[in-house]
Structure formats: C-alpha cells, structure tokens
Amino acid sequence: MRKPRDFDAELKALEDKARELKNRKVQQLGELVIATGADALSADELTGALIVLAETKDAGKTEAWAKRGAAFFQSRSRRTASASDRDAGGASAQSGDAQPAPGGTGAA
C-alpha cells in the first residue's frame, strides 16, 4: 500500500525554498552594488539609472552593457584567483584595477 503524500508539508517546503531563493537574490544584488562601486551613488541616482536601464529597448545598448558586465565578472574572478596566490602586496594592484568600472557607468 502506498504512503499518502503530505501536500501541506511539501507546500511548506516549497515556500521555504522560494523565500530562501528570494533572500539570496536580494543579498547578491546588494553585493553586486558594492562590488561595482555603485554604493557611492545616492539611492535616487541608483534608482534613476536602473529605471533607464529597464526602460531601454535599444538592443545594441543592452548587448553592450551585457558584454561589459560579463567582462567585469571575468576580470573580477581572475583578480580573485590571482590574489589568493599572491601575498598582501598584490592588494594595491587590485584596487587600481577596479577603479575604471564606476567611472564608466556614467557613460552608459
């Protein structure tokens, strides 16, 4: 004889998983804001920039932004990997590499 399914328990587990995923997404968005240097912007400036981004229908612009974002993450992962192999002296080189990204956000 088959054991009856506990739909309430399954539903609660799914709701907990959805809540966990939403919290992780919010945390990762916050980390992204900090990593890109956008935390130096006011909330109004950041909101305005995101609204313009969301309203942009120009495929060329969005593709260019996507490429720039991918390059940011690729260079960041290389810096993180190479920094773990270096001693503390490599930290100053990392901070110099990260500076151009925030300045470029105004050009978009």
Digit-by-digit pLDDT tens for the chain (108 residues) are: 788 889 999 999 999 999 999 999 999 999 999 999 999 999 999 999 999 999 999 999 999 999 999 999 888 766 666 555 544 444 433 334 444 444 444 444
Q: Considering only the C-alpha atoms of the chain, give the largest distance between any 2 of them, rounded to a whole number of Å.
A: 67
pLDDT of residue 3: 85
Structural domain spans, the chain: 58-99
Tokens at 82, concatenated: 């190479």
Predicted pLDDT of residue 79: 65
pLDDT at res. 73: 87
d(CA 66, CA 59): 10
Find the helix or strand (DSSP H, E) in which 33 lies: helix 7-36
